[in-house]
Chain A
Amino acid sequence: MSVRIKGYAGTPLREEDLKQRKVLLVSYWPKAKYIWSAGIAIGRYLTELKSGRIVGRQCNKCGRIVVPPRMFCEWCFRPNDSWVILKDSGVVNTFSISHITADATRIKEPLIPAVIQIDGTTDAGILHLVGETDPKDVRFGMKVQALWKPPEERTGSVTDIKYFKPIER
């Protein structure tokens, strides 16, 4: 900042100041509930997951197969052309080791979130988890295979695949 300026505004508060209501405040929990519809492409994607299949969409103009699928190619900006049934195996494009859950609580058994590039696509990855492996054994480029829940437990969700596990060489 300019060396001519003497003071900066801002009154810091501590967590306790809020908890103990040392300053006046108002609390509000907006009870907004949402129903997000899947749309045409993801509607089919989730329905196919329930049947134990991963599907993508292909654009004839650039040749890309994309997953998660969408009804248009955003590169060519045109509707894409066909559904493609893909293998349920792939390669680890990137991964991480999570010691916290969605609301930042610590967990004992770490999760291994990863971007899995599905076999048969050039750069189409999906976010999922790697399982049945020690975190320190996960490698970039590792070949993995989906482990599906039994058909009666599937609900039409990305969690119908429990995780991707390493393929034995």
Chain B
Amino acid sequence: MFIKKRVAVVGAGMTKFMRRAQETGKELAYEAARMALDSCGLRIEDIECVTMGSAPDAFDGIHMKGEYLIDGAGAWRKPYMRNYVGGGTGVFAPIHGWQHVASGLFDTCLVVCEEKMSSCHPHPQAAFLTIFDNLTERPLGPNLVWIFALEMHRYMHVHNIPKEKIAVVSVKNKKNAMDHPCAQLPQKITVEDVLNSETLVWPVQRLDISPTSDGAAAVVLASEDMAKKITDSPVWIDGVGWNLDTAYWTNRDLYYPQYVENAARMAYQMAGIKNPREEIDFAEPYDPFDYKELHHMEGLMLCKKGEAPNLAWEGVTQRDGNLPICPSGGLLGVGNPIAAAGLMKICELFWQLRREAGKRQVPRDPRTAVAQAWGDLMQVGTVVVMRA
């Protein structure tokens, strides 16, 4: 494969994630983008292009949301592209930005992701309903949580996983989030709290789910020569991968996210990773539900199929464990403004690999990490491998 230029992340920024923000989408995007520029001392004139990720226009209720966000995203009179793959967007946007720089077309790229789900009433979930097939599924009156419950239950059944071993992920991530200044739901809970929380669609209970949120995040990408001028510690994007599966989700076996594995293989091959479990120091897989962290750990080939719940139960995935997973607190703890959530994970990788994560810092000198996002109708895997 021919890549013209190596690409690094040189700056990052994000807003607080919260249930409802006063700021408009433009203002949220500006705050994150401004912070990312300030973090590496760049001015907007130094940015040659912008890629922006945001989930459906229907969440913010703004038609052509990509164009609406341009000026807040620093893209006034610049080359600009918006991308969207549902929840996978947060890791897709930096891949899109990576392409802009790796191709040699640009030396710097600002990547911004924004979401303002609180505009949607009575609940953002209503905007999701057309994800179901209008002819073959909606007449049954489905709730969005059905599809996650069906996937979670299949996963639990195939590997015979008791609910406790999944609940422990929610406990870990909400606790990790207590050290994240932008977190929406940092809290100390127990496995019992999760098991006793309200059952919505079994096996999904209230404390298994990440919140809906408003928020934005941004990173600055630069080509190798430029990156070394901007900062002493650029963090390299060494592997990217993305893959989508069929929208006919009832025709797939939901116990395993094959599309995440396909995306991971693509990214690992590019990064020269042959043994992910050994070579990856920590990971930020997408965790909108606690079972998803485990599902995605397996798809990222960080462990064998069915093994992830045991690793979580035994504490291997704690911050000070052998394979820290979601040291940021993930979506379960920090929040889930759909597109911005994945980019938050990229920001986390950036801060961790530069040893700037403060109380959240993963010990033992991490050098290589992977971030992954997921979304649409449970069909997209987007993967990025970063190295210090």
Contacts and interface: CB of A to CB of B under 8 A. Distances in A.
A and B touch in the complex (CB under 8 A): yes
Contacts of B12: 1-2
A41 to B, nearest CB: 10
Contacts of B32: 9
Contacts of B149: 96-98, 113
Given A12-B16, A127-B136, A101 B143 contact: yes
Given A10-B31, A42-B135, A74 B246 contact: yes
Contact of A97 (B122, B129, B201, B351): B201
Contacts of B97: none
A154 interface: no
B196 interface: no
A84 interface: no
A123 B140 contact: no
Contacts of B246: 74
B351 A94 contact: no
A167 interface: no
A100 B347 contact: no
B162 interface: no
A103 interface: yes
Contact of B356 (A4, A68, A98): A4
Given A1-B182, A126-B250, A104 B143 contact: yes
Nearest to B133: A68
A100 B154 contact: no
B68 interface: no
A95 to B, nearest CB: 6
B150 interface: yes
Contacts of A137: none
Interface stretch (B19-27, B43-51, B83-91, B272-280): B19-27
A23 B151 CA distance: 40
Contacts of B199: 97, 99
Interface in A58-108: 66, 68, 70, 74, 93-104
A125 B200 contact: no
B123 A104 contact: yes
A21 to B, nearest CB: 13
A20 B272 CA distance: 56
A128 B284 CA distance: 34
B193 interface: no
Nearest to A2: B356
Contacts of A101: 141, 143
B17 A103 contact: no
Contacts of B181: 1, 8
B129 A1 contact: no
Nearest to A115: B250
Nearest to B361: A3
A157 interface: yes
Interface of B: 12-23, 28, 31-32, 35, 39, 61, 118, 122-123, 125-126, 129, 133-137, 139-143, 145-146, 149-154, 157, 180-182, 199-204, 214-215, 246, 248, 250-254, 347, 351, 354, 356-358
Given A42-B135, A96-B150, 15 more contacts: A3-B356, A17-B20, A68-B133, A96-B153, A100-B200, A102-B141, A104-B143, A113-B140, A113-B146, A115-B254, A123-B253, A124-B251, A129-B140, A140-B157, A158-B137
Interface of A: 1-5, 8-15, 17-18, 23, 28, 30, 34, 36, 38, 42, 45-46, 66, 68, 70, 74, 93-104, 110, 113-115, 123-129, 135, 140, 157-159
